[in-house]
């Protein structure tokens, strides 16, 4: 998916929506690793900060859990701090 800079929705929200869709569709299941910031910025063709903001949106929504130095994962309903 490529971002549309002319769309009403800003790029970081477009990416967030795409990731949200991939989670809702089951492509990214609970516990699965979400594409890294670096991967996101490269594949969507956006800056690092923009990629981080997209992930931040999902974090705020509780859809994903971020662990520094490890990665970002689709949240599991059972527990939030499982290892």
Partner DNA sequence: TGAAATTTGTGCGTATGTATT
Partner DNA sequence: GAATACATACGCACAAATTTC
Residues that bind DNA in the complex, under the rule CB under 7 A: 5, 10-13, 34, 36-39, 45-50, 52-53, 55, 66-72
* Residue 67 backbone dihedrals phi, psi, to 5 degrees: -125, 115
Of the pair 77, 81, the CB lying nearest DNA is at: 81
Structure tokens at 26: 């089951």
Of the pair 23, 50, the CB lying nearest DNA is at: 50
Nearest distance from C-beta of residue 6 to DNA, angstroms: 9
What's 1's DSSP letter?
A: -
- Please tell me the distance from the alpha carbon of residue 19 to that of residue 42, in angstroms, as a whole number: 15
| Residues forming a β-bridge with 40 | none
Q: How many angstroms from the chain centroid is the CA of residue 52?
A: 8
Nearest distance from C-beta of residue 16 to DNA, angstroms: 9
Of the pair 5, 25, the CB lying nearest DNA is at: 5
Nearest distance from C-beta of residue 44 to DNA, angstroms: 8
């Amino acid at each position: 998916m490529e971002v549309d800079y002319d769309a009403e929705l800003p790029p970081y929200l477009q990416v967030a929506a795409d990731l949200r869709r991939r989670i809702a569709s089951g492509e990214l299941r609970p516990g699965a690793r979400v594409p890294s910031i670096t991967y996101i910025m490269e594949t969507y063709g956006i800056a690092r900060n923009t990629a981080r903001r997209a992930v931040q949106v999902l974090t705020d929504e509780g859809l994903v859990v971020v662990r520094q130095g490890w990665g970002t994962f689709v949240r599991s309903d059972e527990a939030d701090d499982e290892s």
